[in-house]
Structure 1
Amino acid sequence: MEDTKVCSKQETKVPGDESITQCKFYLKKKSRLCRFKPKPGQQYCPEHACIMGVPTARKRIPCPLNPKHNCYEDELEKHKRKCNVTKIQEKVAKEVFYVKGVNKGTDECQDCMPVEAQVHLKF
């Protein structure tokens, strides 16, 4: 997932507005520029400004739930509540078939289990 920036200035025309510049970050997988709008005087949107090393007033950090995107450090708790990963986890947890930690296992060894619960494989 190595994306590279495009040096040429590209503008998007919007009806009723002379020109709105878009983020200059080139998305290699999608073969196009990012469509987010950068802040005034910036070349990159806040999401890609931190990737490109542009200094900002507020620090952005990787999302602890999904490191594929990032969020402002001072708004981390708010982001956790509205992040799509949280919504998906909550939806799955409400399902009748869901049992939290069912595949987690334990630190106990198999020898500590009752003989009838042990499975012996022969190869």
Structure 2
Amino acid sequence: MADKRCKFWLPKKNRFCANAPLDDSQFCGNHKQRSDGQQWVPCPIDQSHSVLRENLEAHVRRCPLLKQTEFLSLQPFYQKGINSGEEEDDGTKNITSEMKRSAVYEMSVHAFYRLIEKIESVYASICDDLRDSHKIPEACDMWIKREVDSKLPFQEKHVVQQASILGNLEEFGLLKSSVGRNHEVLNGDDNSCVPAVVEFGAGRGYLTQMLADCYGVQRVFMVERKSYKLKLRI
């Protein structure tokens, strides 16, 4: 039996939507109306999702991120646009990411390749001291060999990426391998010696789960603003 999935094509991910379709449609509930040509616009509060233009006003009042955004803006440390760089007077500060993407999409093939050459040239001139470092530590064997007891799906490429992150942390001395030692020995009896890890942008939590499984780190704190499906329970 063929795998039934929503037939809505996601150009940014270069694949079809992974959700199951509705019984009476080739599309899932999120994409059924989009397939009918109705106009969708980005949510002004969080542009990672879109809504029907006719429902925009009502959606803004009840968007799940509205309260979170308002709460954040009231914090004493909050400063809007702090990470956006210095203001410029040449008119570029009002250019949005969508406008930049549109400009790239409208380029000819020749102009696009010239842009890539410029980017590579600038990168080579200022980043010559950077190097790729792919590490697959022995401590992560249980995940690499798929010996973890989990019913949640994960892709091999993500496991390799996460193992390499932990391998580089181990090489820099930020993690100690538990290979050949049990986790109690690694963590020690003194609570002051127990390592603690805070992960910002934790997503579904797979990196921290691998950290707990492979390095015995029991004190973890994950920060994630979005609500993901298929999150791990650590």
* TM-score, normalisation: structure 1: 0.43
Identify the structure with the greater strand proportion.
Answer: 1
If the length of structure 2 is used for normalisation, what is the TM-score?
0.26
